[in-house]
A and B are shown apart, each in its own frame.
Chain A
């Protein structure tokens, strides 16, 4: 039912364009292919990611929304750290498979909800389930160092020399 997936993706795109949530821009990279999107996520205010703009890519399966999309940050440096704040596991070449959280996915979730949950995870690093053990340890034991690195990440995403 790729037709249903397309219909739904168009509805979501329309929704995101008409009522864009704060801090999120998302849409198909190319309107010829609605199954690959790019998203820009703004680092939440009052966190070490404030001011950063983080690009990510979303790939939708043909049976979307029965199955979830895969999401991956495309800014490389964040990928090395993201697993601390985002409980999507970080593994090898697929640093951020949203599929690892597939059990929370349901057909009434949406791109908007995924991106909002990413933002809230950036705001509230979840060190309990940090897949990146070193970074999780740094978050707990040496917050200053952690924040310095986060700041570098933010500057990189904006193209400012670090």
Chain B
């Protein structure tokens, strides 16, 4: 205090070694990620639709839309907003619904079982895919072994909230999505902007963790799991109701997701 020679806090004199801005940004980003991971579970419990109101108590546009949503859906299950939310939500909701349908579960299991060979044929190196595939199959095996659907759902919830299992499930669905895009690259290339090839796009936007999902990811993920999804869009757009889209178009959706700009949660009719 009062010492004139002292440099005021926060200012950097030119003689000092330069503070690395990138490092600071990374540190701040890590701090934010840490806060999110400490406060929001990977996959949350069921909550009534009205719980969404708490986020928008002073926002009439959103409140109208929540009201509209509550006429069609009973519950919402939140997922952690870490860039993986679509893949985590989709994977969870899809397996969850299959737990009540033994026959469909078996078909899905068979599809999953054969998927590694398909990825390797597409050019993925076996040893890079193996661990994710094994974890994916282990989760499905554990669930298959539980007779009671409610007990199986509890196990699913536990596994999807165990970072190791949950993240490996996300990675594997990312790889299946990438595989689907590359398998049908002639079709998907029309949806990729700029000069990027489908495989560039997969390496940069699909395979890396924490990369957010777009329409194209969703369509390919649906095709990879042979599942249709209904996405309800809730944003500040005009109108009192939410827009909705079935993906792929014309499907009978079995998974319902709520999209708010930048984030996906699971919906339950």
Contact = CB atoms under 8 A, between A and B. Distances in A.
Number of chain B interface residues as a range: 20 to 34
B113 interface: no
A63 B131 CA distance: 13
A92 B171 CA distance: 33
B127 A15 contact: yes
Contact of A66 (B128, B129, B167, B175): B167
A63 B163 CA distance: 10
A110 interface: yes
Contacts, number: 57
Contacts of A107: 128, 132, 171, 207-209
Contacts of B125: 108, 110
A106 B168 contact: no
A92 B22 CA distance: 12
Nearest to B18: A92
B203 A106 contact: yes
B98 to A, nearest CB: 25
A106 B127 contact: no
B122 to A, nearest CB: 11
Number of chain A interface residues as a range: 20 to 34
A94 to B, nearest CB: 9
B2 interface: no
Interface stretch (A3-11, A32-40, A51-59): A3-11
Given A89-B22, A100-B22, A104-B208, A110 B128 contact: yes
17 contacts: A4-B135, A8-B131, A11-B130, A63-B167, A65-B128, A66-B209, A91-B23, A99-B26, A100-B22, A103-B204, A106-B207, A106-B209, A107-B132, A107-B207, A108-B124, A108-B129, A110-B128
Interface of B: 17, 20, 22-23, 26, 124-125, 127-132, 135, 163-164, 167-168, 171, 174-175, 203-204, 207-209
Interface of A: 1, 4, 7-8, 11-12, 14-15, 63, 65-66, 89, 91-92, 99-100, 103-110
